[in-house]
Amino acid sequence: MPLLEVRDARKSFGGIKAVDGCSFTVEAGTITALIGPNGAGKTTMFNMINGLHRADGGEIRFEGKRIERQMPHRITRMGISRTFQISRQLGDLTVLENVVVQSPSRGLRGLMKPAVLGEERDRAMALLEFVGIADLASLSAAKLSYGQKKLMDLAAGMMARPTLFLLDEPAGGINPALLDLIIDRVQKLREEGVTFLIVEHNMDMVMTVCDPVVVMAYGKVLAEGPPAAIQANQAVLEAYLGA
Ligand SMILES: Nc1ncnc2c1ncn2[C@@H]1O[C@H](COP(=O)(O)OP(=O)(O)O)[C@@H](O)[C@H]1O
Ligand SMILES: [Mg+2]
């Protein structure tokens, strides 16, 4: 049984069929890429998997259980975390607080009660150390660079101890040194048992880190396979040139 199975998922916004009968699977233990030209429906697909958007049709199964009608916090508790294309950090809070609030048993209200912090605070600090920004823990999150926010988001998503981690453009707009760090951390987490589904435009990262690669275009899956086969796929090339 695949860890995640998407079957014939659909989502329209007004007249726009953002996701138009999309089917693919994510096997446990993989770092699977979801790529495709701008507007292909990748972010909308992520939003359906984690419950932010309710699918108009189709089925989404996680560990065999239907999730397409669950609320986001339920899906997080079931074991799916995600990051956003544009970091959604709470700028009034510190970096550490931004990570702590992502603990599924806490949230913002929990943060107000000092007594609840202990264990979660320790875990959040350990995760910030893991992504290399522990020294920034007490800084306002608004002060972080774009790349540092991506690292914070990675740590925050890990607070829920996900089985499946969805990353939306983790390499977007960050410098090569931070990109190497993010890739290294993702690979380390995979070794620890986390499965990844990654939307990414940086083809170096996709081709060296991800396998398999799923290609979306116009809301559908155009191709699926190992990176080398995808790179040699004529239909994929044309989809990118046409966009
Ligand atoms: N909330 C929304 N309201 C209206 N249209 C949307 C919304 N989200 C996405 N779309 C449209 O759906 C299509 C797919 O968008 P998106 O999923 O963001 O693609 P991708 O992430 O692959 O670039 C685009 O045409 C986009 O304009
Ligand atoms: Mg997108």
What is the band of 87 on the pLDDT scale with cuts at 50, 70, 90? Answer: confident
CB 228 within 8 A of CB 64: no
Q: Please confirm whether the linkage preceding 212 is cis (ω < 30° from 0).
A: yes
Cα(8) to centroid(ligand 1), Å: 17
Helix axis angle for 117-130 and 146-158, nearest 10°, is 130
To the nearest whole number, what is the mean pLDDT of the chain?
Answer: 91
Residue closest via CA to ligand 1's atom 8 equals 44
Cα(173) to centroid(ligand 1), Å: 20
Q: Which atom of ligand 1 is nearest to the CA of 53?
A: 1
pLDDT of residue 116: 47
Domain assignment of residue 213, given as a range: 4-242
Q: Is the pLDDT of residue 145 over 60?
A: yes
Q: How many domains are there within the chain? A: 1
Q: Is the pLDDT of residue 43 over 80?
A: yes
CB 137 within 8 A of CB 53: no
CATH of the domain at 45: 3.40.50.300
**Following CA atoms 205, 155, 107, 64 in sequence, which dihedral angle do they give, to the nearest 10 degrees?**
50
Task: For 5-39, write each residue's pLDDT tens digit.
Answer: 999 999 999 999 999 999 999 999 999 999 999 99
Query: Is the four-CA dihedral 208, 209, 213, 219 of positive or negative sign?
Result: negative
CB 150 within 8 A of CB 87: yes
Which one-letter amino acid corresponds to residue 26? V
CB atoms within 10 A of CB 177: 9
Q: Which residues contact 123 (CB under 8 A, 6 or more apart)?
A: 103, 159
Query: Using a 6 Å CB cutoff, which residues line ligand 1?
Result: 13, 16, 18, 36, 38-44
Task: For 103-138, write each residue's pLDDT tens digit.
Answer: 876 555 555 555 446 788 899 999 999 999 999 999
For the purposes of burial, counting CB atoms within 10 Å of the CB of 191, is it exposed (0-12), middle (13-18) or buried (19 or more)? exposed
Q: Which atom of ligand 1 is nearest to the CA of 46?
A: 17
Provide, rounded to the nearest whole percent, the portion of the chain with pLDDT above 90: 78
Q: Is the pLDDT of residue 1 over 60?
A: yes
d(CA 216, CA 45): 10
Cα(198) to centroid(ligand 1), Å: 17
pLDDT of residue 85: 80
Radius of gyration of the chain (CA): 18
